[in-house]
Chains A and B, each alone.
Chain A
Amino acid sequence: MDRAHAQGIVIEGLSKRYGEGETAVEALKGVDMKVAPGEVVGLVGPSGSGKTTLLKCLGAVIEPTAGRMTLGAEEIYDNGWKIRDLRALRRDNIGFVFQAPYLIPFLDVTDNVALLPMLAGRPNGEARKAAIELLGALDVAHRARAMPSQLSGGEQQRVAIARALVNRPPVILADEPTAPLDSERALAVIRILNQMARQYETAVIVVTHDEKIIPTFKRIYHIRDGRTHEEAGEGRAF
């Protein structure tokens, strides 16, 4: 196993409070979570339960109030950021898949995927080669020169997954990635995420409300009022 992917995701006692004094809101209250490399877990909960706050903390875009977080081989938070360059941390260690694909509309499919390695300083040719390889693995290589607006919803989501994976991050955070898709395409996306997680030893957290895909997870974290509890999923084949 790649050293960078050694621990997947480990969260211990993670808290997040918004505001101060009487108006303070405790969005996360000591969340514990562990996702092994190559594993895909579901994170489910009602609106306002703290899912998005947890995702933002994991994505290093908001700072938790307390706790510890380890992504891959790196402890990134221990009651304070341990990493100075959070931008580089996100670029190199975290892949994001959103509810909508949010592809850059003025870049073609290849460059949407190749942009991340280019930002990391890899030569354009090398970055494009890696992107096309990944697009091939996700079965969208034939759309490599298309613009995002020319793709179907499923194709766009696969390109978004390719973008999330292209820098081989130890962690992928997927925020309701199947919400706009029908059952068939939603299951296809989850299948791809599982396949890629295994292939690249990536720990994947999928935030979802989607009843169609919840039975596919082997482990599910339920979150309510800022607290999580773990439960075994059905792990149904797709």
Chain B
Amino acid sequence: MISLAGRDILHSWAKFVFTGVGLGLLIGVTLTMAGVYRGMVDDAKALLDNSGADLWVVQKDTLGPYAESSSIYDDAYRGIRGMEGVARAANVTYLTMQVRRGETDVRAMVVGVVPGGYGEPGQPRYLVAGRHITRGHYEAVADLSAGFRLGEHVQVRRNLYTVVGLTRRMVSSSGDPMVFIPLKDAQEAQFLKDNDAIVQQRRRTAENPAFNRPGVPGLTDSVIASQSANPYVNAVLVQIEPGFSPEDVAGPIRRWKRLQVYTRSQMEGILVGKLIATSARQIGMFLVILAIVSAAIVAFIIYTLTMGKVREIAVLKLIGTRNRTIAFMILQQAVGLGVIGFVVGKVAATFWAPFFPKYVLLEPGDAARGFVAVVIICVLASVLAIQAALKVDPAEAIGG
């Protein structure tokens, strides 16, 4: 038996191809939305991978340092480093802000790291150009996506930093490029007040009778000095020694240091489950709406194509064509349209994904699931047209 659907598609291929292209662009948008979500998850995992940490030690009862603010003393790392199973520990700060590049500004996550080399917790894991930060002040390593080049200057708050190294795919969970600067500078950038605020604070302190008591010389100066210093970091990143499990090391830190400790899997759960959960639901809603719109379009197109062939269907039924043959013809056409649409959509999504400002990760698994969904949607969408075709009376082919 010949394929009636195939012959019809070949006969009016232009109509099918153009309709398929239109549908394909919609499917391309759907695949891209899935890619945006995957990109967000991948960004979150890249953030954790790039930190080089096995454990994140943060302020007690917080989900820091990425999902909530966290503040711990910058000398806490010393005690942690001495604990059993800890190979390395280093302070780190994170601050998402606008940094200036010449006359323009770029949104970036400024990461304060202890100067050092490859393998230090918090340091970029690899460079594509230049070197790591080795000096205590005014050097920076920037991600390529921020647009900096070696030797350029990046302005963070009031200070200028020279870009000495470039890295790739070092981004925050929001996809913002990272700019690494020395820890001390980052602490200052995070808590630095402007000059007027400093003058006002000193005046207020001096006027406060509690800090300016007669008979206690030097008290005001001491208080002002303590207010000017910033002894806080957002987290301590810990690498554990071989042979120890993360929980083995995390337990004693929680118990003896009274700090919150997260393992890699816990931190991944926080980032994916909490930080990007709302965005994921938002994208999920988009996917559902796009799927409904696609189904409606396929249903409308197939219904219109079928209604345009009522006389042919009546003749086919009159000359003895089985209902299932006619239904299968319509079903094949709907699925054929979906396949054309999927191919166009996949090619379109692959083509335009690199132009998106945030990372779009098109996974083969999503494409496979998308293909199955397209086929299911097309099958469901053809039901209306099949019902209409089965209602066509063969008598319509005869006379008036």
Interface residue ranges, A against B (CB under 8 Å):
51-52, 55-56, 59, 61-62, 87-88, 90-92, 96, 98-99, 102, 104-107, 111, 115-116, 118-120, 124, 147, 163, 173, 175-176, 207
A115 to B320, CA, bound (A): 10
Partner of A90, one of B311, B318, B400: B318
Contacts A105-B11, A120-B320 aside, 5 further interface pairs with beta carbons under 8 A come to: A61-B393, A87-B320, A87-B322, A96-B398, A99-B399
Q: Which residue of A lies closest to B394 (CB)?
A: A61
Q: Which residue of B lies closest to A173 (CB)?
A: B398
CB neighbours (8 Å) of B315 from chain A are 96, 98, 102, 104
Interface: B12 (CB within 8 A) = yes
* Of B1-9, B199-207, B343-351, the one touching chain A: B1-9
Partner of A56, one of B7, B316, B399: B399
Partner of A175, one of B4, B317, B393, B399: B399
Chain B proximity of A38: nearest CB distance (Å): 23
B1-51, CB < 8 A from A: 1-2, 4, 7-8, 10-12
A2 to B62, CA, bound (A): 94
Interface: B216 (CB within 8 A) = no
18 contacts between A and B (CB under 8 A): A52-B400, A56-B398, A59-B395, A61-B318, A62-B395, A88-B320, A90-B318, A90-B319, A98-B315, A98-B398, A102-B315, A102-B397, A104-B316, A106-B8, A107-B7, A120-B320, A176-B399, A207-B399
Chain A proximity of B222: nearest CB distance (Å): 93
CB neighbours (8 Å) of B321 from chain A are 87, 119
CB neighbours (8 Å) of A107 from chain B are 2, 4, 7
A52 to B8, CA, bound (A): 30
Interface: B366 (CB within 8 A) = no
Cβ–Cβ contact B2 & A118, under 8 A: yes
CB neighbours (8 Å) of A147 from chain B are 11
Partner of B320, one of A51, A102, A116, A173: A116
Cβ–Cβ contact A92 & B320, under 8 A: yes
B4, B10, B398 — most chain A CB neighbours (10 Å): B398
Interface residue ranges, B against A (CB under 8 Å):
1-2, 4, 7-8, 10-12, 311-312, 315-322, 325, 393-395, 397-400
Q: Which residue of B lies closest to A53 (CB)?
A: B399
CB neighbours (8 Å) of A118 from chain B are 1-2
Partner of A102, one of B7, B11, B311, B393: B311
Partner of B312, one of A51, A105, A111: A105
Q: Which residue of A lies closest to B313 (CB)?
A: A104
Cβ–Cβ contact B2 & A102, under 8 A: no
A233 to B38, CA, bound (A): 82
A105 to B8, CA, bound (A): 8
Cβ–Cβ contact A91 & B395, under 8 A: no
Partner of B395, one of A56, A120, A176: A56
CB neighbours (8 Å) of A176 from chain B are 399
A107 to B315, CA, bound (A): 13
Chain B proximity of A171: nearest CB distance (Å): 13
A88 to B317, CA, bound (A): 10
CB neighbours (8 Å) of B8 from chain A are 106
Asked whether A124 and B2 contact (CB < 8 A) given A106-B12, A119-B319, A163-B319, the answer is: yes
Cβ–Cβ contact B395 & A119, under 8 A: no
Partner of A96, one of B1, B318, B322, B393: B318
Q: Which residue of A lies closest to B314 (CB)?
A: A102
A104 to B311, CA, bound (A): 9
Q: Which residue of A lies closest to B323 (CB)?
A: A87
Cβ–Cβ contact A96 & B319, under 8 A: yes
A176 to B398, CA, bound (A): 10
CB neighbours (8 Å) of A91 from chain B are 319-320
A174 to B77, CA, bound (A): 98
A34 to B325, CA, bound (A): 35
Q: Which residue of A lies closest to B12 (CB)?
A: A106
Q: Which residue of A lies closest to B309 (CB)?
A: A105
CB neighbours (8 Å) of B319 from chain A are 90-91, 96, 115-116, 119, 163
Chain A proximity of B10: nearest CB distance (Å): 7
CB neighbours (8 Å) of B12 from chain A are 106
Q: Which 7 A-B pairs have the closest CB atoms?
A: A91-B320, A52-B399, A106-B11, A61-B395, A106-B8, A102-B315, A106-B7
Cβ–Cβ contact A90 & B398, under 8 A: no
A55 to B396, CA, bound (A): 12
Q: Which residue of B lies closest to A124 (CB)?
A: B2
Cβ–Cβ contact B1 & A119, under 8 A: yes
Q: Which residue of A lies closest to B9 (CB)?
A: A106
Cβ–Cβ contact A111 & B399, under 8 A: no
Cβ–Cβ contact B2 & A90, under 8 A: no
A56 to B4, CA, bound (A): 26
CB neighbours (8 Å) of A119 from chain B are 1, 319-322, 325
